[in-house]
Amino acid sequence: MTPAPSEAWTSRVTFLLRDAFGIVPVAVETGPAGTDTLNFVVTGDDGRRWFVKTSPHGADVSEAEGAAALAAYAGRCGVPVAAARPTVGGDRFVAAHRGTAVSVTEYVPEAVTADGRLDGGLWEEVGDVVGRLHHGLARHAFGPPGLGPRDKTVDLARNPARLADLVRRYEAAPPATEFERWAVRTAREKLARLPEVERLLEKVPPRMLTQLVHGDLSGPNLLLKDRRVAALIDFRPPGRRGPVWELGRLALDPRTVLSQPDWPDGLGRLAAAYHARYPAVGVEELVCVARVAAVALALSVYPLNTVVAGLGPATDSLESYARDRHRAAAVLRERLDEAEELLREHLRPTAPAGGPR
């Protein structure tokens, strides 16, 4: 996490809002912080409220501009997003001053994040919206979908090496806190499970569809209001990843897996709604969505690496999230057969009314 905003930082943000975006702030509140951003909720002199994202010194302004432009493109495809406010000149979505980069989107009042909240008809609602997103992004100038290697989160050459390196780093500087001691034990457990993970991956196609995606689609980045999707937020700069990886990352958020006992059926309904909207992702790939998510969690070093990698302090909320991820990975493995059976059932083509002729 980034540190709390300084007075100088807030002053630069206020200057940019006036000079670059034509917003005269009358109230500036600290908003929820991102992994590498400081955010504010700002009320302008016209009474309108805005969500203001600021990036730290050294941030790549072109990447921030690319992410904002991608969100705007998704909005033009009919995907619910928090509409971006362009700069006064109308040609950019990001402005910078003395190392501080700022972007502005409309504030979505009374919205809640989706983490742990997928239930009932929200499964179909979310599946339809993500299908609409991926269908729209497939037509972006970035390039069309195509077959490529499985997503990097399930790469058996890359991720075990990262886990082994994490263990070595902890051994070089013995863990000082209970969280760090738990983290190194968990990393060792993950390494010991590699043969099981390899067997899980045998049923995942070695080449899968890849395309332009949101890039950070997860429960906290999907806003709900009145049991509808209000907005997808926090797009990443344009990049090619697996749509099945992205779908599972959102639908099988650890808090959802742990709090919704009927998630296997909900996942099947979500996948069916997604496929109806975006059939380019085939049934055999979609049936693998829970398996890909299970392997990705089993191989992930985050957030076990938070302290040794200097990503920030191990806060209570981060420790809780880390343990949730570990428990959810076990639940996914235990219920994988059930989930895949329900995925096949929900994705099975429906016979035409009246039966065959």
Any residues with CB less than 8 A from the CB of 11 and at least 6 apart, and which?
A: none
In sequence order, the 6+-apart residues with CB closer than 8 A to the CB of 166 are: 183, 184, 187, 301, 304, 305, 308
CATH number at residue 181: 3.90.1200.10
Look at residues 86, 107, 128 and tell me which one is the last residue of a structural domain. Answer: 107
| Total-model pTM | 0.93
**355 lies in some domain:** no
Give the chain's residues under pLDDT 70: 1-6, 35, 56-58, 351-357
280 shares a domain with 178: yes
- Looking at the structure of the chain, the number of domains it has is 2
- Of 29, 26, 48, 49, nearest to 40 (Cα)? 29
In a domain, 352, yes or no: no
CB 71 within 8 A of CB 84: yes
CATH number for position 75: 3.30.200.20
Check: CB of residue 224 under 8 Å from CB of residue 163: no
Domain holding 334, by residue range, is: 113-347
Choose one of 70, 92, 107: the last residue of a domain: 107
**Same-domain pairing of 100 and 165:** no
Dihedral (CA of 114, 209, 204, 198) sign: negative
Q: What's the DSSP call for residue 253?
A: -
Three-state DSSP at 106 gives: strand
Are residues 131 and 210 both part of a single domain? Answer: yes
Question: What's residue 51's pLDDT?
Answer: 97
- What pLDDT, on the 0 to 100 scale, is given for residue 354? 56
User: Do 28 and 68 fall into the same domain?
Assistant: yes
Residue 113 φ/ψ, nearest 5 degrees: -80, 160
